């Protein structure tokens, strides 16, 4: 698709018309977005909605995006697995991935004929940067015949050397579906440790870490309990260190953490994961008290409403994958989707 560079100027004033058009949306998010901030967000939200129609575009938004993006412009929201499934199903001409680069690559693998955009090409991931395709080839030489399970938080180059991908929500299921007594699990050491604790399969690990989740400590969680006299539910993402998970009441992927809140309805909860997710879940449960440990992902926060608008207008930044790499990487992602 060629970019239309004509008529890119947009009125970004907070007019009475935009105030009226976005009033219902703001009513929904008002307890997580201050009233003084809404006039800055609303004109961009209105403009993005117009440009989505012009481009026949769909916007996929990860759970770690800020509420004005998550609730303001998303067509689909979710964790890596959920977004991968939506990317595989969409009939839009343009996919805008509001996440990080590996997610946009995954969307491109599943939609090679579509235009896949990421609003900021610098939105990377410490896990994806911790390993290369060459590293995987060396591991295969070291452990001949052992299947490789790779977290989707990796580059297409790594996925191409992989037998099957997984996400935090289906990692145990994927490992056990292989029917072997040993697997190589890449690249998240802590998620791999968690998988190892949940299965009888021997898990060979790589020492990659998420720069957000590895900052949490057991003392952080113990201090929450002390401060709130134990009257708190602590739920944690498995990318956290094992001693942190040991202090949590529940461990699960982002989608599983949300399901826990929906099902258990704890009066007071702290989500040991990226900060914006607490804001997004709090919108759905205004009666619950969310204690927010503000560990932010600097890469996710590169995605902003102005950059989303610019991306739709100019069709920057389009994500491409070498066809030879894409063909092999696609198989590992499709196998993950088949397993579920």
- Domain CATH code at residue 264: 3.40.50.10800
> Could you give the CA distance from residue 73 to residue 40 in angstroms, rounded to a whole number?
14
Residues 118 and 152 in one domain: no
Does some domain include residue 100? Answer: yes
From CA 170, how far away is CA 168, in angstroms rounded? 6
What is each CA distance from 50 to 38, 55, 97, 208, in whole angstroms?
A: 18, 9, 17, 41
Q: Could you tell me which residue, 177 or 80, shows the higher pLDDT?
A: 177
Segment 154-178 shows an average pLDDT of 96
Burial of 220-253, coded b for 16+ CB within 10 Å and e otherwise, reads bbeebeeeeeeebbbbbbbbbbeebbebbbbbbb
50 and 132: one domain? no
Residue 5 has pLDDT above 90, yes or no: no
Q: Is the dihedral of CA 251, 256, 258, 260 positive or negative?
A: negative
Q: How far is CA 333 from CA 173, 244, 327, in A?
A: 15, 30, 10
- Burial bucket for residue 140 (CB in 10 Å: 0-12, 13-18, 19+): middle
Which residues span the domain enclosing 245? 213-291
Residue 132 lies in a domain: yes
Q: Same structural domain for residues 187 and 224? A: no
Examine the domain organization and report whether 153 and 97 are in the same domain.
no
- State the pLDDT at residue 2: 57
- As a whole number, mean pLDDT of residues 146-164 equals 97
Q: What is the pLDDT of residue 1?
A: 63
Q: How high does pLDDT run on average in the chain?
A: 95
Round to whole Å and give the CA distance between 11 and 82: 34
**Closest of 148, 238, 255, 132 to residue 188, by C-alpha:** 238
Kindly state whether residue 136 falls inside one of the protein's structural domains.
yes
With 80 as the cut, is the pLDDT of residue 8 above it? no
How many separate domains does the chain show? 3
């Amino acid at each position: 698709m060629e970019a239309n560079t004509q008529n890119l100027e947009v009125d970004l004033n907070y007019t009475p018309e935009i105030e009226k058009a976005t009033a219902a949306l703001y009513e929904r998010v008002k307890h997580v977005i201050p009233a003084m901030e809404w006039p800055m967000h609303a004109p961009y939200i209105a403009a993005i909605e117009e440009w989505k129609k012009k481009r026949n575009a769909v916007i996929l938004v990860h759970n770690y995006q800020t509420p004005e993006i998550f609730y303001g412009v998303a067509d689909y929201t979710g964790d890596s697995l959920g977004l991968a499934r939506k990317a595989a199903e969409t009939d839009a001409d343009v996919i805008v991935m509001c996440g990080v680069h590996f997610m946009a690559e995954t969307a491109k693998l599943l939609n090679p004929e579509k235009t896949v955009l990421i609003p900021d090409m610098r939105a990377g991931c410490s896990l994806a940067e911790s390993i290369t395709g060459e590293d995987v080839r060396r591991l295969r030489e070291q452990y001949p015949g052992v299947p490789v399970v790779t977290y989707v938080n990796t580059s297409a180059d790594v996925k191409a050397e992989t037998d099957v991908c997984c996400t935090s929500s289906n990692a145990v299921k994927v490992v056990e579906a292989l029917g072997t007594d040993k697997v190589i699990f890449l690249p998240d050491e802590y998620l791999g440790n968690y998988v190892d604790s949940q299965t009888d399969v021997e898990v060979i690990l790589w020492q990659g870490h998420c720069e957000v989740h590895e900052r949490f400590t057991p003392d952080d969680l113990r201090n929450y309990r002390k401060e709130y006299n134990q009257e708190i539910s602590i739920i944690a993402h498995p990318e956290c260190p094992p001693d942190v998970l040991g202090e949590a009441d529940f461990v699960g992927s982002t989608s599983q953490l949300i399901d826990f809140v929906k099902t258990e309805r704890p009066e007071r909860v702290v989500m040991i994961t990226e900060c914006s997710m607490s804001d997004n879940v709090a919108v759905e449960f205004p009666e619950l008290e969310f204690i927010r440990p503000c560990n932010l992902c600097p890469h996710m926060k590169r995605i902003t409403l102005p950059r989303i608008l610019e991306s739709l207008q100019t069709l920057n930044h389009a994500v491409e994958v070498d066809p030879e790499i894409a063909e092999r990487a696609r198989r590992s992602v499709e196998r993950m989707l088949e397993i579920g």
